[in-house]
Chains A and B, each alone.
Chain A
Amino acid sequence: MIGAQLSSAASGLALAAEDSGSDQNPLLPETYDIIWSLVIVLVIGFVFIKYVLPKFQAVLDERAEKIQGGLEKAEKSQEEADALLAQYHQQLQEARTEAATIREEARAEGSAIIEDLRRKASADAERIVGSAQRQIEAERQAASVSLRNDVGQLATELASRIVGESLADSARQSRVVDRFLDDLESGAAEVEAEATTTGGEAR
Chain B
Amino acid sequence: MSFLATTPTLAADGFHAPSLDDFFPNGFLFEGTAFEINRIMLVRFVAVVALLLVFVLAAKRAKLVPGRFQASVEFVLDFARRQIVYEILGEKEGKKYVPVITTIFCGILFFNLTGVVPFLNIAGTGVVGLPLVFALWVYGMYLGAGVKKFGVGGFLKNNLFPAGTPWPIYILLTPLEFLQVFVIRPATLVIRLLANMISGHLLIALCFAATQYLLFSATPALKAFGLVTFVGGFAAFLLEVFVACLQAYVFAILAAVYINMSIESEH
Contacts and interface: CB of A to CB of B under 8 A. Distances in A.
Interface in A122-149: none
A189 interface: no
Interface string A131-175: 000000000000000000000000000000000000000000000
B183 interface: no
Nearest to A12: B1
Name A's interface SS.
Answer: helix
Interface string B34-73: 1111101100110010011001101110111000000001
B77 A56 contact: yes
A11 B51 CA distance: 33
B24 A22 contact: yes
Interface in B125-149: 127-130, 132-134, 137
Contacts of B134: 41
A193 interface: no
Contacts of B48: 40, 43-44
A33 B194 CA distance: 14
Interface string A29-52: 111111111101101110111011
B33 A41 contact: no
A45 B73 CA distance: 17
Contact of B37 (A16, A36, A44, A59): A36
B20 A35 contact: no
B176 interface: no
A139 to B, nearest CB: 109
A34 B133 contact: yes
A185 B1 CA distance: 173
B41 A36 contact: yes
B133 A37 contact: yes
Contacts of A194: none
Interface residues of A, number: 47
Nearest to A44: B107
A33 B56 contact: no
Contact of B1 (A11, A30, A44, A53): A11
A60 B8 CA distance: 57
A10 interface: yes
Interface in B79-113: 98-100, 102-103, 106-107
Nearest to B18: A16
Interface stretch (B114-122, B195-203, B225-233, B253-261): B195-203
B26 interface: no
Given A26-B128, A48-B106, A9 B59 contact: no
B59 A33 contact: no
Given A26-B128, A37-B129, A38-B133, A6 B195 contact: yes
A13 B99 contact: no
Given A12-B199, A40-B48, A30 B129 contact: yes
Interface string A1-25: 0100110111111011101101010
25 contacts: A8-B199, A11-B2, A12-B202, A16-B19, A22-B19, A22-B21, A22-B24, A24-B23, A26-B198, A27-B190, A29-B128, A31-B34, A32-B38, A34-B132, A37-B132, A38-B133, A40-B133, A41-B107, A41-B137, A44-B106, A47-B55, A49-B103, A52-B55, A52-B58, A63-B64
Given A2-B246, A24-B20, A45-B137, 17 more contacts: A5-B243, A6-B191, A12-B202, A24-B21, A24-B24, A26-B20, A32-B34, A34-B133, A37-B133, A41-B133, A43-B48, A44-B48, A44-B107, A49-B103, A52-B56, A52-B58, A55-B59
Interface of A: 2, 5-6, 8-13, 15-17, 19-20, 22, 24, 26-38, 40-41, 43-45, 47-49, 51-53, 55-56, 59-60, 62-63, 66
Interface of B: 1-2, 4-5, 7-8, 19-21, 23-24, 27, 30, 33-38, 40-41, 44-45, 48, 51-52, 55-56, 58-60, 62-64, 73-74, 77, 98-100, 102-103, 106-107, 127-130, 132-134, 137, 190-192, 194-196, 198-199, 202, 243, 246, 250
